[in-house]
Amino acid sequence: MGVYRSDQAQLTFAAEAAQGGDPEMMEGSPVSSSQATAALDADHNAGSRTISVDGVSNTFVIGDFIRIGAVETSYASTTTEHEVRRIEAMASAGGTSTNTFTLDRPTAFFHDDDDVVHEVDGLGDEGDVTRHGDNNKFITFIPGIYETFDTPDPEMSIEGRRFLSTASKRNVSVFYPGQQTLSGGVSGMVLLNGWPLRFPIGSVRSFPIASSTSGSTGLTLNGAVKKGDIYILLNAVTNLADGDYIVIGYTSDDSNSTAEVRRIVDIISSRVKLNYPLQFDHATTTAVRECTSASVYTHTINETVDLDTVSWHVHMKDSTETSGKDFDRRYVGGMIGSSTISAEEGGMLTMSWDSVNFLNMVHNVRNQATVGTASGDDYDGASVEANMPRFGLMQTIDTDDVGAPSHNGGAVNDGTGYPTTSPYYFSEGTLKFFGQEFARIRSFSLSISNGEEPRYYMGKQGKRARGPYEIKEGPREYSLSASVVLPDADVVNTALVSAASQDSALELFKQLLLEGDYGAGGGSVYRRGFTGTLKFERGTNDYIIIDIPPETDGGVGNPNASDGDISNQLNKQGIFINSAPHSITGDNPFQVDLDMVFRSLRITIVDSIPVYP
C-alpha cells in the first residue's frame, strides 16, 4: 500500500502575465451531450476575473467548467490561446442576453471579442494529449535544488461568535469561517541558473551575444503582441524551423530593454507558436532575429515598480506511483515579498524565497464522501460531479515536463529539462570605493523586501474563497551583511593612520565614520556612498554579477549600464555602512562584520540558457 512521501514531491513555477492567471493551454473534453457554447462579447485582457458572453446555446450553470478560446483539430491559423476555468457565479446584464461569468481564477491570456466559450467535462481529461498536452505546459521551471518548501495551503480563520443567550453559558455560540491567507516559501535553494532571481526585483531582458545573419535578417512582427501571448505573426519565416530560437526585440546595438528569447514550437504559414508566453508587450514591426545554435545569452535583471507574480505547481506521487493517485496543487498570484541571496567562501550560491503570498489555489481532489455524490451545495446543479471547493482542471506536471517548456522542440517533453549545470560557487566578492577595492568578502547575505500587502476587498470570488483579492507592492528595501577581511597594511607608509590610499587596511574604518559624505561641496545635503560588486563564476561566459548600484557595470561591459557613477544626488546614492565593529577576536587576518544598506541593484547573468521565465 502506497504512502505519500516528501521525496516524491516536485515544485515547479512559471511567471504570470497577470496576477492570479496561471499560464496553461488546456482543452478539456466536450460534455457527452447538450454542451453549452457562447462567444465573448468584448476583448478580455489577461487577468480578467469575469467574462461576459452572448450568443449562448444551451445552458451554463454554476460549477460548469468552460474552455475559453478556440481549438481546432490541429493547430491551424484559427487556433487561439485557450484555457479552462470554472464558473463560480453568473449574472445577466439587465434586459439583454449578455451573461457575466465569475471565474474560479483570473485568465492567463488575452482573448479577442467573439472568441469561443465551450462547456467541457470536469473529469480532468486534458483533451488530445498527444497533439496538445506537453507543449501546452508552462509551469515547468524549477527554482533550483531544494529539499523542503512551505506550501501556501489556505490558512483558515474560523472565528467563534457569542450570541446573547442563556444557553451559551460563557461558551462560543457558533463558529463562522473568516479571512483566509495563503503564504509559503522556499529556503536554501542552490542556484543552477538565474531563473528565480528576477521575481523579487523586476523584469529580465535576454539577448544572444551572437545571432544568426544567414537568412534571418529583416524579420519583424506582423502585428502587435501582448504580454502572455504564445502565438505571434511574422512578416516571413525564411529559414526558420521548429526548434529554432528567436530573439524578439532585436537591435544591432543590444539596447532594447524588452528583448526576450523564445523557442519555436510550430510554424503554420507565417504564424509561429512559441514555447513560453511573452513577458513584454511588443509593437508591430518589432525586429526579430534567429539565434545561432551555439549562442551565449546575456540576461539582465532590472528593477520594476510592478512585480510579475508566479504560479506554483506541486506534484506528488504515492510511493507505488500508482496511476490515478497523483496529488496536485496549484497556487496562483504569488508575489515574492522577501528574498535572500547568500554565499560564503568556498560554498555554493543559494537563494531563498522567504515570503510568498498567493491569491488562491486549485487542486485535483474532486470529491468528498460526506458531501454526497452530487456537485454539492457550492455547485448545485452543475453538470459535473466535483463537489470539493477549489477543485480545478489542470494538467499534471510530471518529471519529464520539468525545465523550459517544449525544451526538445518536439510534440512532447522528453525528460531532459532538468538543468545539467553545476552550482555557482562563491568565487569573487569585492567592495569598491570609486572603483577601487578596499575589502575582501568572506561571506554575505543580501536581503530584499518588497513590503507586499495582501488586500481584501468586497466582491464576488470563488465558492468558499475568501483569500486576498490582490497583492500590492510596498516600499522596497535592500540590506547587505557581510564578513570581510581587511587588505594588507601599507608597510611602506610608516604612519599608517595617515595613509590616504583607498586600499589601505583602515579604509573600512574611515568609511564607517564618513557615512558616505566626502565633502561634496556646493551646499548639497545628499551623501554619496560607495559601490559594490559580487561575482559568481563557473567558467568562460558563465557567471552572475550583482552590481550595487545599477550604474556600475562590474567591469564587464553591462549592456544596460547607465553612464556615470554614484553621486551626491537624489536617487543616485550607493552603499552606506550602518555598523562595522572592529572587534578584537581570534580571526587572523583581521575580520570585520558589516551591516549595510543601499537603494538599488542590477543583476547580470551570462550563460547558455536561452529562455528565462
Residue 377 pLDDT: 63
Q: What is the CATH number of domain 210-295?
A: 2.40.30
The C-alpha atoms of residue 49 and residue 65 are separated, in whole angstroms, by 15
What are 565-595's pLDDT values in tens digits?
676 677 778 899 999 998 888 777 788 899 9
The residues, ordered by sequence, that sit 6+ positions from 277 with a Cβ below 8 Å of its Cβ are 15, 17, 23, 108, 109, 138, 227, 228, 229, 230
- For 508, the 3-state DSSP assignment is helix
The C-alpha atoms of residue 350 and residue 364 are separated, in whole angstroms, by 32
The C-alpha atoms of residue 166 and residue 244 are separated, in whole angstroms, by 76
Q: HSE-up of 521 (CA within 13 Å, CB side)?
A: 0
Burial code (b: 16+ CB inside 10 Å, e: under 16) for 435-451 equals eeebbbbbbbbbbbbbe
**Residue 507 parent element (H or E):** helix 507-514
Residue 261 pLDDT: 95
For residue 81, the Cα-to-chain-centroid distance in whole angstroms is 20
pLDDT band at 298 (very low <50, low <70, confident <90, very high): very high
Three cell numbers, residue 582: 572592529
Of 179, 39, 51, 159, residue with least CA distance to 104: 51
pLDDT band at 540 (very low <50, low <70, confident <90, very high): confident
Residue 564 pLDDT: 42
Is the predicted pLDDT of residue 76 greater than 90, yes or no?
no
**Residue 512 parent element (H or E):** helix 507-514
Q: Where are the beta strands (DSSP E) in 111-154?
A: 116-120, 149-150
Domain spans in the chain, listed from the N-terminal domain onward? 25-136, 210-295, 426-607
Burial of 54 (0-12, 13-18, 19+ CB in 10 A): middle
pLDDT band at 215 (very low <50, low <70, confident <90, very high): low
Percent of the chain with pLDDT over 90: 41
The C-alpha atoms of residue 544 and residue 542 are separated, in whole angstroms, by 7
pLDDT band at 164 (very low <50, low <70, confident <90, very high): confident
Residue 203 pLDDT: 96
- Higher-confidence residue of 293 and 291: namely 291
Three cell numbers, residue 547: 552590481
* Helix and strand numbers, DSSP H then E, in the chain: 1, 33
Q: How far is CA 423 from CA 298, 483, 536, 537, in A?
A: 18, 22, 10, 10
Residue 345 pLDDT: 82
Taking a C-beta distance cutoff of 8 angstroms, is the pair 592, 609 a contact? no
Please give the DSSP secondary-structure letter assigned to residue 132: I
Residue 560 pLDDT: 43
Counting other chains too, the contacts that 254-257 makes at CB distance below 8 Å and 24 or more residues apart are 254/207, 254/298, 254/559, 255/559, 256/205, 256/207, 257/203, 257/205, 257/300, 257/302, 257/560
Residue 3 pLDDT: 80
Q: What is the CATH number of domain 426-607?
A: 2.30.110
What are 471-520's pLDDT values in tens digits?
999 999 999 999 988 777 654 444 445 555 555 778 888 888 988 887 75
Taking a C-beta distance cutoff of 8 angstroms, is the pair 115, 387 a contact? no
Please give the DSSP secondary-structure letter assigned to residue 243: T
Helix, strand, coil percent values for the chain (each to nearest 5): 5, 40, 55
pLDDT band at 245 (very low <50, low <70, confident <90, very high): very high
* The one-letter amino acid at 445: S
Residue 578 pLDDT: 95
**Residue 354 parent element (H or E):** strand 350-357
Residue 555 pLDDT: 41
pLDDT band at 557 (very low <50, low <70, confident <90, very high): very low
Q: Where are the beta strands (DSSP E) in 191-309?
A: 202-208, 219-220, 231-233, 245-248, 260-268, 271-274, 287-290, 297-303
What are 425-455's pLDDT values in tens digits?
877 666 666 667 767 788 899 999 999 998 8
DSSP 40-51: ESS-B-TT-SEE
Residue 333 pLDDT: 95
Is the predicted pLDDT of residue 138 greater than 90, yes or no?
yes
Domain boundaries 25-136, CATH class: mainly beta
Taking a C-beta distance cutoff of 8 angstroms, is the pair 335, 452 a contact? yes
Of 532, 340, 341, 537, residue with least CA distance to 426: 537
What are 29-56's pLDDT values in tens digits?
877 667 889 999 999 999 999 999 988 8
The C-alpha atoms of residue 613 and residue 194 are separated, in whole angstroms, by 10
Q: HSE-up of 300 (CA within 13 Å, CB side)?
A: 22
* The one-letter amino acid at 39: A
Taking a C-beta distance cutoff of 8 angstroms, is the pair 216, 237 a contact? no
Is the predicted pLDDT of residue 603 greater than 90, yes or no?
yes
| pLDDT averaged over every residue in the chain | 83
Range name among 8-12, 216-220, 239-243, 369-373 with the lowest pLDDT average? 369-373
DSSP 392-408: -------GGG-SSTTTT
Is the predicted pLDDT of residue 83 greater than 90, yes or no?
yes
Phi, psi of 498 (to 5 degrees): -105, 5
- For 183, the 3-state DSSP assignment is strand
What are 317-353's pLDDT values in tens digits?
887 777 778 889 999 999 999 999 999 887 889 999 9
- What is the distance between the terminal CA atoms of the chain, rounded to a whole angstrom? 39
Q: Would 25-136 and 426-607 be classified into the same CATH topology? A: no
pLDDT band at 117 (very low <50, low <70, confident <90, very high): very high
